[in-house]
Structure 1
Amino acid sequence: MWRVGVDVGGTFTDLFAWNVKTGERRTAKVLTTRRDRSEGVVNAVEKANIPFGEISHFMHGTTTATNALLERSFPDVALVTTDGFRDTIEIGRQHRQSLYDPYQKKPRPIIPRRFRFTLTERMGAHGDVVTPLDTARAVEIAKDIHQLGLQAVAVGFINSYANPAHERQMRDILTEHAQNCQVVLSAETRPVFREHGRFTTTAVRAAVLPVMKSYFDRLAEQFANRGFTGALLTLKSNGGVMGVALAKDHPEELIESGPAGGVSYAAYLSQTCEHERLIHTDLGGTSYDASIVENGTGLVTRNYELEWEIPIVVPMLDIHSVGAGGGSIAWIDDGGSLRVGPASAGSEPGPACYGLGGTKATITDANLILGRIQPTLGGKMELDVEAAKRALQPIADTIGLSLLDTAEGMIRIACENMGQAVKMVVLSRGRDPRDFAIASFGGAGPMHACFVAQAMNIPTVVVPPYAGVASAFGATCMDIRHDLEEFFYAPVSGVDMQTITRLYEQLEARGRALLAADGVSPGDVVIERSAQMRYIGQTYEVDTPIPGGKLDDSHRAGIVSGFHHEHRREHGVSSDDFDVAIVSLGIKAIGAVPHPPMEKQAIDQANKKASAAGARPVYFSGKWVNTQVYSGQTLTPGASLDGPAIIEYEDSCTVIPPGCSARVDGTNNLVISVETEAELDEYSTEHALVDSH
């Protein structure tokens, strides 16, 4: 039986599959079908020639929820909240994204003001009823919502995390008077304090509930019509997967569903190569993702923002994304400067060289003109070099550069944008980028990875054999996982350890029940505890591991010491002068599943040079340079090569600039040693061909 992973991107839909019995592996890459992304998923399976009836597990990463939120392309939904809090999701925390920009605008709120309703009620911070719910007003609101025909409603009352009784009462009234309207409670979505994050997360869930239900229903129907009877799973933002039936009710956990697969592959890769600390980077047709992998796992954040001041307070892999990809469009700003992205040609119409109607110059067109892409993409499609030149020529004329220098300028600008994404995710977590290696994924990622590494002074780039379908591969490496959290505030010095044990046991029971619903046997369940902790008086928390089993006073010092360690790692400092408090308790309920076996091979200790399949001129640093071209499938462990070089894989292409070198390790990863910019320029000058080529 086959285990299949699919990643639906803005331009391409990627597939990786492996047969549990035979070990056979297959890949596929097709254009994403924007009108109905489920069609592209089916196309990928059919291209891989895998019978739907022979698929035991289908793991699916999708950006459908994210796109719906960013584009505001979801049905109108309502919010019911406490008097005085109608505008909380719009006012936010009154931060400014750009301190000195007087013209900045906040993004549109998830729910417009005309669909936000308030009523009298009040819970105290300790769960006591301060003001009873105004049931008459609640009935009026429910009838108004029903008359408006809204499909979903978010209910978010102040302090409901301490006592959800009023929210549940409101749900009962809505169920009675606003039939066919899905009701989402903030106390069940994320029972944590700070109402802004809790309200916006609840609004997000309500908004994309109809979108994701419709999408998953279409996908399940198409699969069932083709004989699929296996487990249909979707990737979660936290680095795990869950069943589609549960995902329909928890769409806020799918915001980073697509990029999560790439982080999973980087974690898998960190166990097979000599670099345990990796910066996962994934460059597709539309976006560039960057994140950190340490100790075999991706870092998680609870401070994710969909857009400025729209936080989603669920555990998510700490991934930073920018609008840079093979389809990123070049343009001239008002000051006459060349810019690239974030707008993308996507899959429809795509880059100009695709011949699908696109007329705007993109990164793919620039790479084709510079000789870095083979015009037939290994026989998969015919790229039109002349169309690419026609698209770039107006840009070149406007800025007064040659066509080639304009194309190379586009690449440099795009790589600088990518470098800023790496810088953001690494430095914000207190890490030094020089301590890491870049793991380069995506069809276009390895073409630019060395230039990004050079900009960030990162000495090593690792390109795995399945880089072009990395997120799809990573999907097959992901365990079933559920993150559960419960608000609980107490200074550690005086906390009742029996109470904490009881709360953890309740969370663990819920987690085991969710895993059982996903078909996980009890023997495959792993539970990991954590707590959100802070120094008393701080306004932010640090995720801290907590021991399993029964907790007693003997664990108190170890918990505090663990917090100091995590705080020091995240922020560079810790202190014994301040008391430590617990803010919330959480667990990871993990259901282990089989992963693709590691393909290790013996390395030929003799330093053998790889044999090139051919050569062609490639434009580097203002000069044409004769460049060796290699087939990635023929490179074996122990082989080495020097730049400039092009390595063409089935689903991606690697560019090794002049002055850099590479070798193949025991798991067929291409490990590239990156040189400095000065060294690259010196090499390019010495080995340049004539400009008239």
Structure 2
Amino acid sequence: DILTFDMGGTSTDVALIQDARARVRRETIVGDVRVRAPSVDVRTVGAGGGSIAFVPELTKALRVGPESAGAVPGPACYMKGGEEPTVCDANVVLGYLPSDVQLGGKMQINRDASEKAVQKVADAMGIGLMEAAEGIIKIVNESMFGALRLVSVEQGYDPRDFALVGFGGAGPLHANALGILTDAWPVIVPPGPGVLCAYGDATTQVQDEAARTYLTMADDLSDAQMLKDLHELRDRAGEALRTDGIPDEEHEVSYQADLRYAGQAFQITVDFDEQELGERGVALLTEAFDAEHQQLFTFKLGDGHEILMIRAVVKAAARKIADKQLGESDSSLEDCKIHDSRFYFDGAWHSAPIYDRGRLHSGLEVPGPCVVAEMDSTTVVLPGYTAAVDAIGNLLINPNDGGV
């Protein structure tokens, strides 16, 4: 089970994945419009690398976002005309984004420009430059933590029962800090975090679904009738895939049912497959509904279940793509070091070597404080934490004492 956050240039998207399945909602509100269409339950906040920090004249309280510098003019350090202090500039000032390793050393960022921009916040608050930069980072981290609470605590889940996955171009910079706030360990930074969304797009399965209104009490429904109705929906949903040239043997079929207690307005979607239904019958749905209802609302009734809708979901089998190649297995951690640096954390400077992620291999442990650089992102490992490299190249960040 994992909590995920994707931090890009303008916003952060968060979601909860349980039993290897992302939570899906059947309706979404876009602005003031309610859209009745299935979508992954993703919450978004205006917290990204380009989010602008400012100090309102009235309150004198530091705020970050939701306004963003975007790609144009971008953060001040990009030297494209941006002058306002952004989260990216604060990371540069603190040393989390070293000025000479971005995009494999092909992109130069200007630390002096970042310092000049962040100094505006420092002057407005009457504090030092480093304190202002650290304040910006702490506020944006709290904003993302608030979003993570929406998909975890406020839905009855304890973040401490989950691992935390951080990706996006800016996500790994803040992943360790968010692990501290959520107490979700390990913090996982996947290979190629800055292009993980593109990787997901390349591996997304073609899918179609068919649904029908049911409005049937579970106690009045036989297992055989339920299975017959689901098979009809399966055949209808699979037709679109067959039209696209995807044969039946490459179809992956699952089912869903929307249930509620009779007289209740709120419904919960239960996922299952044909084998599970064959083994446990309709009771599978009611028991799963009761468990989810108790998770969300701390109680269950145990009877009076009404099935509102059933649906079949048919996906095309996933195809493999090339695996990422890890570094040489006989290289030492010292061999992976680019050069020595330092960053500012918790009110003090810390020596922090910079490592090339492309050289890291399974079995290596990378102790913090340090920075792990790669072409599309930068990972910060804070003092008191260590990043281990697993067999497929993930960085697994944990407290040094192994506590959870």
Taking structure 2 as the reference length, the TM-score comes to: 0.90
Partner residue in 1 for 2:270: 544
Asked if 1:649 is matched to 2:374, the reply is yes
Tell whether 2:161 aligns with 1:426: no
**1:630 corresponds to:** 355
Q: Matches of 2:145 and 2:132 in 1, distance apart?
A: 20
Instruction: Quote the residue 1:294 is aligned against.
Output: 18
What CA distance in whole angstroms lies between the structure 1 residues aligned with 2:198 and 2:19? 22
1:410 corresponds in structure 2 to: 136
Aligned-partner SS, 1:280: strand
Q: Deviations over 1:141-179 (max 9, x none)?
A: xxxxxxxxxxxxxxxxxxxxxxxxxxxxxxxxxxxxxxx
Q: Considering only CA atoms, is the larger Rg found in Structure 1 or Structure 2?
A: 1
Question: Are positions 1:344 and 2:68 aligned together?
Answer: yes
Structure 1 residue ranges without an equivalent (≥5): 1-276, 680-693
Q: Which residue of 1 aligns with 2:43?
A: 320
1:283–1:444 contact (8 Å) kept in structure 2: yes
Counterpart residue number, 2:393: 668
- Aligned letter for 2:108? E
Paired residue type of 2:267: E
Counterpart amino acid of 1:332?
Answer: V
Q: Hey, what does 2:81 align to over in structure 1? A: 357
Whole-angstrom CA distance in 2 between matches of 1:599 and 1:382: 27
Match of 2:54 among 325, 328, 331: 331
Q: Deviations over 1:309-346 (max 9, x none)?
A: 53322221111111101100101233110000111111
Pair 668,361 (structure 1): closer, same or farther in 2 beyond 3 Å = same
Where 1:452 maps in the other structure, the secondary structure is: helix
Q: Distance in 1 between matches of 2:269 and 2:227?
A: 18
The amino acid of 2:135's aligned partner reads G
The answer to whether the 8 Å contact 1:351/1:365 transfers is yes
1:399-478 to 2 correspondence within 5 Å?
399-478=125-204
Match of 2:211 in 1: 485
Distance 1:391 1:599 in 2: 38
Task: Give how far 1:575 is off.
Answer: 2.6
Whether 1:588 aligns to 2:313 is yes
- Tell me the amino acid that sits aligned with residue 279 of structure 1: L
1:617 to 342, 357, 367: 342
Q: TM-score, normalised by structure 1?
A: 0.54
Provide the residue aligned with 1:512 in structure 2: 238
Which of 356, 380, 383 is equivalent to 1:658?
A: 383
**What residue is the counterpart of 1:95 in the other structure?**
none
Equivalent pairs counted in the alignment come to 396
Cα offset, 1:506, TM superposition = 3.7
CA distance in 2, matches of 1:596, 1:568: 40
Question: How much does 1:300 deviate?
Answer: 1.2
What one-letter code is carried by the residue in structure 2 that aligns with 1:306?
Answer: V
Q: For the Cα contact (< 8 Å) 2:326–2:358, is it kept in 1?
A: no
Q: Distance in 1 between matches of 2:394 and 2:272?
A: 36
Amino acid across the alignment from 1:560? T
Q: Distance in 2 between matches of 1:614 and 1:365?
A: 22
Question: Could you say what secondary structure the match of 2:281 adopts?
Answer: helix
Matched-pair contact (CA < 8 Å) for 1:483–1:586:
yes
CA distance in 1, matches of 2:347, 2:287: 55
Distance 1:601 1:561 in 2: 44
Q: Equivalences for 1:301-312 in 2 at 5 Å? A: 301-307=25-31, 310-312=33-35
Alpha-carbon distance in 1 for matches of 2:262, 2:383: 54
Return closer, same or farther for 1:487/1:468 CA change in 2, 3 Å cut-off. same
The one-letter code sitting in structure 2 at the alignment partner of 1:582 is: I
- Asked if 1 retains the 8 angstrom alpha-carbon contact of 2:328 and 2:359, the reply is no
Alpha-carbon separation, structure 2, partners of 1:526 and 1:319:
24
RMSD: 2.7
SS at match of 1:476: helix
- Which whole-Å deviations, capped at 9, do the CAs of 1:190-227 have from their partners, x for residues lacking one? xxxxxxxxxxxxxxxxxxxxxxxxxxxxxxxxxxxxxx
C-alpha deviations, 1:347-366, integer Å up to 9, x for none?
Answer: 11111111112121111111
